[in-house]
Amino acid sequence: MIAVNDNYADGRDMSWLWDVDFSILKHSGVQAISGSRAYDMAIRLFHDDVNFNEENIDVNISESVQNFIKGGRDKKRIYATYTAMLEVRKELSKNFRIGEDFMNLKILWLYAEKYEYLWRLW
């Protein structure tokens, strides 16, 4: 899952999405795309030939997280910008049990700083 917002704390300019090499996700694809910039992220993934299901694009992070955790693969990763990560963590804390639901979940922070674009383990 990738959740991308463009709130003030994230930075309003989303052009950095085009500087990130998302082709590393080609082998596994992306199960869900969410956040206020979900459709921008989908276009970006499309240009890197990363597979995703158009039905799993949703600007509502709460719904996306619920559907993502309940379905699909055993090992799950969520890549998120700062404010999207806060929404993801809030949703996870109120709806899921730590032991069973989180065993194979990793949340990674996607951020841009000084033109260095990194995937950071949260």
| pTM of the full structure | 0.81
How would you write the pLDDT of the chain (122 residues) with one tens digit per residue? Answer: 999 999 888 888 888 888 888 888 998 899 999 999 999 999 999 999 999 999 999 999 999 998 998 876 677 888 999 899 999 988 888 766 655 555 556 666 665 553 334 444 33
At residue 30, what are phi and psi to the nearest 5 degrees?
-125, 125
Angle value at C-alpha 54, between 1 and 89, nearest 5 degrees = 25
Q: Is the dihedral of CA 105, 4, 18, 30 positive or negative?
A: positive
At residue 105, the pLDDT reads 67
